[in-house]
Amino acid sequence: MINKIFPAEWAPQRFVQLTWPHADTDWAYMLDEVQACFKNIAREVAKRQQLLIVAPDVEDVRRQIADEVNMTNVTLVEFPSNDTWARDHGGITIFEDGKPVILDFQFNGWGLKFPSDKDNLITERLHRGGHLFGELRNCRNFVFEGGSIESDGEGTLLTTSECLLSPNRNATMTREEIEAYLLDTFGAKQLLWLDHGYLAGDDTDSHIDTLARLCPDNTILYVKCDDETDEHYEALLRMEEQLTTFRTLAGEPYRLIALPMARPAFEDDERIPATYANYLVINGAVLVPTYATELDALALAQVQKAFPNHEIVGVDCRELIRQHGSLHCVTMQYPAVEG
């Protein structure tokens, strides 16, 4: 029997992937601003570990970042892309009997909402070019995004029913069939389904990484709304209530740490999904999106409670939420492997 492990995000990492914004993405109208945000993310990652950047023009990216980013830790790879959401088109790494396997799922633009033909080929092209380590497994008969799943590295997965049961993803499969597939694919023992919670303006159908995150020592960080007049209040209250019913594999309740609901932000009068849950764990640090409000400090302090041995680093992500994502959405970590 093969021993499968889907490592937690806080496991040692080999590198983080960014897929760089360019003039042929939806960022074209605000390209300078978003590239500055990506440069800030790249700087913080490359201080601590390797960074892989995918872009259609790598020399242009080099010119943008070389003055501020530790380039000895950066690999630039030239491929076309539709957009920048590496969390959802990137490969997901598991280990089988200790050997890395990169799962290459079908990415269909979050249920056929956006073009994804170029993005869907990036993982295969990276592997063919020798940039990914381990076996590449074609899983494109299943539509799936990295932002829709959380793993504690010990056999528990966390997801949302709103996303995984979306009719434009895997409509031929029942909830029970999807659960069985994921447990088998990731070698997990339990899948916790979050049935409540959403963020206005979110294109992903409630990815788990916008709402609640598994953390070390049986802890869950989650978004809490205290404003009864906010449109999210009831749904997030029901989410919190459901989280209290979840149990670890040992049968114990989770330690719950609340993240503040970010202040409302708008683009063209539409509310956009600002969330502090969309942080990225890297080697020795947690990069937390911030939005230039008084709640940033509280969010950083709450994340520190869940990751007491990590440096907590705020990264201004006001530009990212203008295209309905944040820091975790634009990154994908690849775990450390032998060799």
177-220 residue pLDDT tens: 999 999 999 999 999 999 999 999 998 888 999 999 999 999 99
CATH of the domain at 23: 3.75.10.10
- Average pLDDT estimate for 17-26: 97
Share of the chain above pLDDT 70, in %: 100
C-alpha dist (Å) from residue 160 to 36, 73, 198, 317: 32, 35, 10, 24
- Does 251 score more than 70 pLDDT? yes
pLDDT reported for residue 322: 95
pLDDT reported for residue 238: 98
Q: What is the pTM of this model?
A: 0.96
pLDDT reported for residue 112: 77
Q: Domain range holding 151?
A: 4-335
pLDDT reported for residue 110: 75
Quickly state the pLDDT bin for 339 (edges 50, 70, 90).
low
285-320 residue pLDDT tens: 999 999 999 999 999 999 999 999 999 999 999 999
102-158 residue pLDDT tens: 999 999 887 778 788 999 999 999 999 999 999 999 999 999 999 999 999 999 999
How many domains in the chain?
Answer: 1
- Does 229 score more than 60 pLDDT? yes
pLDDT reported for residue 337: 85
- Does 271 score more than 80 pLDDT? yes
